[in-house]
Amino acid sequence: MSEDIQLKDAFETFKIARRYSLQNLMDQAGELLARNFEVLSKQPNFRDIDEETLMYLLKRHDLLLPELKLFNIILRWASDSMEENSSYSDVLKNIIPLIRFPLMTAQEFATFVSSTQILPQKDVIDLFLYFNSDGTI
């Protein structure tokens, strides 16, 4: 059955597998989602993905996207998921720690991340110190 998972059904298959603790099916659907994350992120129903599924995917080692691209996908998801009177910081509080900012270049971080005000100022400063050190901070 799991060999027949179609990309269009992968999110739903993953949710069902998680609900019923079907670990093998969940792993296979998760692998398909991770391998095709960028393509899936451009689909209209991507905004319907729940936070738990998104966190699961961000923790996977086979999610092979540049961190800046991943950060922008996450921002778009948050924008679509935000309710009135909420902020990016509220929506992303559990997700931002899963973004590997040190894998970005200093220029990418300075240009595209630091100005979003999503990270606490202390984290922004720490990351700038990291980028301007030998990577040992």
The pLDDT tens digits for 57-66 are 999 999 999 9
Structure tokens given for 89:
């910081």
Q: Are 67 and 97 in contact (CB under 8 A)?
A: no
DSSP secondary structure of 57-101: HHT-TT----HHHHHHHHHHHHHHHPPTT--HHHHHTTTGGGS-G
Say yes or no: 2 and 23 in one domain. Answer: yes
**13 and 54 fall within a common domain:** yes
Q: Tell me which amino acid residue 29 is.
A: A
**Residues 43 and 71 both lie in one domain:** no
Q: Are residues 110 and 133 in the same domain?
A: yes
Confidence of residue 4 (pLDDT cuts 50, 70, 90): low
Examine the domain organization and report whether 55 and 77 are in the same domain. Answer: no
- Count the domains in the chain: 2
Query: In degrees rounded to 5, what are phi and psi of residue 119?
Result: -85, 145
Look at residue 109 and tell me whether its pLDDT is greater than 70.
yes
Could you tell me the sign of the dihedral formed by the alpha carbons of 66, 72, 76, 77, in that order?
A: positive
Q: Would you say 103 and 131 are in contact if contact means Cβ atoms under 8 Å apart?
A: no
Say if residue 64 is exposed, middle or buried (CB neighbours under 10 Å; 0-12, 13-18, 19+): exposed
Contact between residue 38 and residue 77 where contact means Cβ atoms under 8 Å apart: no
The Cα 63–Cα 35 span in angstroms is 6
Q: Note the pLDDT tens digit of each residue in 16-48.
A: 999 999 999 999 999 999 999 999 999 888 888
From 28, 43, 64, give the residue that closes a domain: 64
pLDDT at 137: 56
Residue type, 72: N
Domain that holds residue 135: 67-137
What pLDDT is stored for residue 120 in this prediction? 93
Same-domain pairing of 43 and 108: no
Choosing from 46, 64, 82, the residue where a domain stops is: 64
